Structure 1
Amino acid sequence: MKIAYLAPELPALSATFVYNEILQLEALGVQVVPFSVHTPSSKVNEPRVEALAKRTFYLYAQSKLNVLKDNLLCLLKSPVCYLKTLMMVGRDMWQVGLFSRIGLGLVYRFFFAASLARQLQANGCDHLHVHFAHIPTDIAMYASSLSAVPFSVTAHANDIYERGWLLNEKVERSAFFATISEFNKHYLEDKGVDASKMFIVRCGVEPNLFSKRTAVLEHKKTRIGAIGRLVEKKGFDTLIKAVAILKAQGETIELQLAGDGPLFQQLQALALSLDLSPQDITFMGAIAHAEVASFIKSLDAFVLPCKQDEQGDVDGIPVVLMEAMLSGVPVVSTKLSGIPELVVHKETGLLVSPDNEDELAETILMLINSPVLKNQMIECAASKVKRDFSLEHNANKLKDMFNCVINHIV
């Protein structure tokens, strides 16, 4: 079994779930040929990941001359197939708007699809799997048509909510269409996609990398924290406002916020405007992937109040919540997207409404003052992740699905 993998950026810090899935599949005996649309902007300093980067083929890094040659070779080798795919592109452009940005983007991605198709054939790939249902899947479905290599998809969040063009066509053309949550599956079914091709495949974690902490924390203040890219959908502004409310109520609490992003200065200004000092909130900036586990274990509670941003983008099921739950750290998040499938209120964590700092402050305070509930949730949370979100379990599920496609098992 030789499976090609395509993702927007591989391997990158923002896509740990993709490269971990690849490495787990390889540990299960699957031969993976990695492809990436872009060259990653941030490198991962791990030997096994660096080795993966060295053998990854970066599509958009190819010269335009080489891409043109690949198109000419595809045309000469199989003119009927090439013209048939070109007609598919034309129909798709008509569907999204002939001269719209998306429509013109489809033409651009079609040309790079020829390079991918040539690579799939040269490497003898049996199947192509794609993470994210927007740009990578555009390339994949045209490359599949050009190469006769079947493809499948794992959809996540903004790729179906904010950038979900041609979803019906993509599901129809795929061998199967997986997504990470029941919430996403119902959303897609409501869009009228073929439900028989829909499957749930979770983004998994390696439980052995995030063992339950044994050290007893002795903080003078209750230390809550979060880690993530500083963007609107993470809801860090709501978290900062909640900390300000708790401080005004006389609670001794501190917030440690790890991560970088476009809202860094804006969030710092918000904290200052709410009279939060460096003793109340620490902006740690980006931390190395190897330091994530120790950072999480240093917290009394992990709080990630996700929300929908102005463009409609939301998180799916953040992997970092799973990592905190495995580490024995109680979690607070929001009733949004697929999060309640992981964080079950008062069972595996606590949930609040998105964008509601008063409710969030009240819930954090309840957690602080409820040690019995906190300990019960910690035990249930780790069991939930190990049972439903194990990387090995979900990689085995994918491997079986690839095998069914390759062997034409319906």
Structure 2
Amino acid sequence: MRKVVVWRSAMIPASETFIRNQADALSRWTPVYLGATKTRSTLARDTDITLFRSQRDPDFLRLRLFGSSPALRRALAAQQPDLVHAHFGGDGWLISGESARTGIPLVVTLHGHDVTRQPASPGAKGIRHRHNLRTVFGRASILVAVSEVIRQRAIGWGADPAKVRVHHTGVPIPAGIPDGPKRWDVAFVGRFVEKKGADDLLAALATLDAKAVFVGDGPLLAEMRDVARELRVDATFLGARPADEVYRVLASSRLLAAPSRTAADGDSEGLPTTVVEAMALGLPVVATRHSGIPEAVADGRTGLLSDERDREALAANLRKLLDDPDLRTSFGTAGRARAGAEFDVVAQSRRLEDVYDEVTGQRE
């Protein structure tokens, strides 16, 4: 079997189950997980290969400043992969120099903030992000965008349209839907950052008689707990949880809310994985018309969409589904069918392997 190095500089945050699920589902290619530093998370594995003990390592500093690292070069030489697949544009740039020097073709997946917030940053930081992004655009054989919106953003920053492919990462599709009592009315799963819109959800929930559960961590978690108390929202905050527990929480909820929005600094989603995970479990979704969400959620068939930051419309959509069990069942059934047909991680990873085959065929 051919070998692909899956590169993520921080190996690997708990919120990035999509990277694990995708690579673990490969059948014709063997993934080797390679990173710069190890992140303590529920996704970390002893088999992950990391190069540096900390971000203060001089060789890691050299990699971040100049895009070169003897340690990374040695690791690639030792693994002898047929391909490198990097996640996020910035990480793609980090490995692109050594990938080019060793003659290993590179595929880079663009997820969201790497082609929204980062290159739009002001001053020297933005100049550097744009330079690095355009460099990796040139070095990569294929650029994978997780949604059409992200594809267009990449092209807007200078990517060759012929190189940029939309590929939905996919999620595991359970064989059946867990049958059990519903503990919560509304579930939210995601990092507590501005673009996730947790404050919009709390404001909407304050107008409803509903029990909500929030899964995830992030810099705004403490603030959102305070907002929930101030608004007297019946909300349970569970913090970050392993993937299997997240699935149990979703299965114990009546619907998923994903009120994503563009942050003040331009940060945007690609296509939130939790939206598709909820659909795979037969949950209807209440979300916003943000980035790639409408590529997954069919408004009026698998969920209800509203404009970003429209708290009244968000509350109305939540109320409509919570008040109508038959509509929830109808949307949930249609959503599960859509997830299975278009977002099954096994089928999507096979399509990704076709891209790998194409790239290495070009190499030969």
TM-score by length of 2: 0.89
| Match for residue 208 of structure 1 among 174, 195, 211 | 174
Determine helix, strand or coil for the equivalent of 2:115.
Answer: helix
Measure, in 2, the Cα distance between the counterparts of 1:17 and 1:63.
24
Question: Contact 2:178/2:251 (CA < 8 Å) preserved in 1?
Answer: yes
Q: 1:173 to 1:358 in 2, by over 3 A?
A: same
2:97 matched to which residue of 1? 142
Question: Contact 1:184/1:337 (CA < 8 Å) preserved in 2?
Answer: yes
* Cα deviation digits, residues 318-375 of structure 1 (max 9, x gap): 1111111111221111110101100111111111111221111111111123344332
1:399 matched to which residue of 2? 353
1:281 maps to a residue whose letter is A
Q: CA deviation at 1:161?
A: 0.7
2:328 matched to which residue of 1? 374
1:241 corresponds to 2:203 = yes
Q: 1:64 to 1:372 in 2, by over 3 A?
A: closer
| Match for residue 193 of structure 2 among 225, 231, 253 | 231
Determine helix, strand or coil for the equivalent of 1:208.
Answer: coil
1:31 corresponds to 2:30 = yes
Q: 1:245 to 1:386 in 2, by over 3 A?
A: same
| Match for residue 295 of structure 1 among 233, 239, 249 | 249
2:127 matched to which residue of 1? none
1:159 matched to which residue of 2? 114
1:127 matched to which residue of 2? 83
* Cα deviation digits, residues 220-255 of structure 1 (max 9, x gap): xx7212122222221111111111122xxxxx3222
2:48 maps to a residue whose letter is T
Measure, in 1, the Cα distance between the counterparts of 2:352 and 2:303.
28
* Higher share of residues assigned helix: 1
Measure, in 2, the Cα distance between the counterparts of 1:237 and 1:105.
39
2:73 maps to a residue whose letter is A
Structure 1: any 5+ residue segments left out of the alignment? Answer: 45-49, 69-103, 247-251
Measure, in 1, the Cα distance between the counterparts of 2:151 and 2:231.
40
2:10 matched to which residue of 1? 9
- Deviation larger for 265-274 or 153-162: 265-274
Measure, in 2, the Cα distance between the counterparts of 1:137 and 1:365.
43
| Match for residue 307 of structure 2 among 348, 353, 376 | 353
* Cα deviation digits, residues 237-288 of structure 1 (max 9, x gap): 1111111122xxxxx3222222222222211221222244xxx222223333
Measure, in 1, the Cα distance between the counterparts of 2:134 and 2:84.
19
2:53 matched to which residue of 1? 61
1:40 matched to which residue of 2? 39
Question: Contact 2:28/2:353 (CA < 8 Å) preserved in 1?
Answer: no
Over the residues paired in the alignment, what is the CA RMSD in angstroms?
Answer: 2.5
Q: CA deviation at 1:146?
A: 1.8
1:301 maps to a residue whose letter is L
Question: Contact 2:115/2:157 (CA < 8 Å) preserved in 1?
Answer: no
Question: Contact 1:204/1:390 (CA < 8 Å) preserved in 2?
Answer: yes
Q: Percent identity?
A: 26
Q: CA deviation at 1:184?
A: 1.1
* Cα deviation digits, residues 152-200 of structure 1 (max 9, x gap): 1011000111123233332222111111111111222333421111111
1:94 matched to which residue of 2? none
1:111 matched to which residue of 2? 68
Taking CA–CA contacts closer than 8 Å with sequence separation of 6 or more, which of the two structures ends up with the larger relative contact order? 2
2:214 maps to a residue whose letter is L
Question: Contact 1:245/1:358 (CA < 8 Å) preserved in 2?
Answer: no
Question: Contact 2:197/2:261 (CA < 8 Å) preserved in 1?
Answer: yes
Measure, in 2, the Cα distance between the counterparts of 1:245 and 1:64.
48
Q: 1:288 to 1:31 in 2, by over 3 A?
A: closer
The number of equivalent residue pairs is 352
Q: 1:3 to 1:148 in 2, by over 3 A?
A: same
Question: Contact 1:7/1:130 (CA < 8 Å) preserved in 2?
Answer: yes
Determine helix, strand or coil for the equivalent of 1:223.
Answer: strand
Measure, in 2, the Cα distance between the counterparts of 1:43 and 1:287.
8
Larger radius of gyration between Structure 1 and Structure 2: 1
2:122 matched to which residue of 1? none
TM-score by length of 1: 0.79
Question: Contact 2:37/2:52 (CA < 8 Å) preserved in 1?
Answer: yes
Determine helix, strand or coil for the equivalent of 2:333.
Answer: helix
